[in-house]
Amino acid sequence: MDERDVYRAKDAMQSAMKKGPMRVALIIGAILMFFMFLQPWVQIGAGQRGVVLDFGAVQKDVLGEGLHFRVPVMQEIVRMDVKVQKAETAAAAASADLQDVSSTVAINYHIIPDKANIVYQSIGIHFKERIIDPAVLEVVKAVTAKYSAEELITKRPAVSDAMKLSLTERLLAHNMAVDAFSIVGFSFSKIFMEAIESKQTAEQLALKAKRDLDRIKIEAEQTITAARAEAESLRLQRANISPDLIELRKIEANLKAIDKWNGILPQVTGGGAVPFIGVGDIQKR
């Protein structure tokens, strides 16, 4: 081997040493890119559950909140929201007395967390349109038919409780829980509302007339009682009148007249005796 061959071998070794770290870096970078592309982990957020699919088949395990690893290509994780959600549904029904009733119902509900995989497998993610709304419509119609239109107004809390109980049973069969239930509003036909208003007006007028009649009766009874008391007083006074009492009353009247006399005798024109009321009577006594 000549000197040229030695220099060539040396240059080749130096060139290979320079390219080696770059190749390693490229290989590592390619592995990381491939690793990132496959995403062998999944993060489940607050208020969510992860449904595990092995080649599309739903598994029994439900992933809780946090970071989880999965088998790339084979496993897929579907996130399901298990927080409390609100649904509002408008429903039309008929009361027991065949009155048309339109109502709006609002409910708060949530998926039972441990059953998220079953909900996904049997219903999917569009459960409001498939389960919630039809169940609310059915419950409203069934319960409304048990009450008259007037009772739907006067017994609203009982109607709401009955609807909530029935809806809870229906949704529980689909692994959903009802947290709150409220009837936002009832509305009836215009003719029925006018009839209710007329009835209330008549009841108010009848109540006013009854109060007036009771007042008149009380005033009449008071007048009669006062008259009876006065008559009884007069009767007792007559029963107690005697000649001695009459004489005593005359003396008292004369004494009052004397007390009021100023000492001046009345002057009488045309002659005659000077009158002095009651003096003769007093002297006789």
CB under 8 Å to 63, separation ≥6 — which residues? Answer: 42, 44, 49, 50, 51, 52, 77
Residue 238 has a pLDDT of 67
Q: What are the sequence ranges of the domains in the chain? A: 1-38, 42-81, 85-188
- Do 152 and 159 form a contact (C-beta atoms < 8 A)? yes
CATH of 85-188, one of 3.30.479.30, 3.40.50.2300, 3.40.140.10, 3.10.290.10: 3.30.479.30
- Do 159 and 147 form a contact (C-beta atoms < 8 A)? yes
What does the pLDDT look like over 266-284, one tens digit per residue? 555 555 555 554 444 444 4
Q: What is the DSSP string of 46-73?
A: TTEEEEEEETTEEEEEEE-SEEEE--TT
Q: Residue 257 pLDDT > 80, yes or no?
A: no
Residue 285 has a pLDDT of 46
Residue 281 has a pLDDT of 47
Q: Is 193 helix (H, G, I), strand (E, B) or coil?
A: helix
Measured distance CA(156)–CA(98) in Å, rounded? 18
Q: Residue 229 pLDDT > 70, yes or no?
A: yes
Which pTM value belongs to this model? Answer: 0.56
